[in-house]
Amino acid sequence: MQRLRTTVPGAASEASPCMACGACCSYSADWPRFTWEDDAALARLPQDLVTLSGMRCDGARCSALVGVVGVSTSCAVYADRPDVCRACVAGDDACQMARSKFGLSELVVAEA
């Protein structure tokens, strides 16, 4: 099987590859778990999108994910997203694993 590669833009002004992916937000209901959030951070999240331990999921997909995985996605709570979501790095091992589950090409981080 041939593996396609997509380059992750290096400049901050370029669009994030995550906006055309969303695989990490749909990989597992166990991923969007709260870690170090304080009560004030959790209070900023819409209560219909959270559970006692993390973001509410529909199957494996985070309920805050908007759009179609691998096509165009966004996060309904991006500005207030949990620490576990902030820790996601485009192109790291977890990203590649999630992308693989959805048959998406591997990301290669461009050198700056």
Model confidence over 56-81: pLDDT tens digits? 999 999 999 999 999 999 999 999 99
What is the pLDDT, as a whole number, of residue 111? 60
- Residue 52 tokens read as 């006692």
pTM of the model: 0.80
What is the pLDDT, as a whole number, of residue 112? 56
> Cα dist. 79→1, 21, 62, 104 in Å?
38, 18, 16, 26
What is the pLDDT, as a whole number, of residue 10? 39
**Residues in the chain with pLDDT < 50?**
1-13
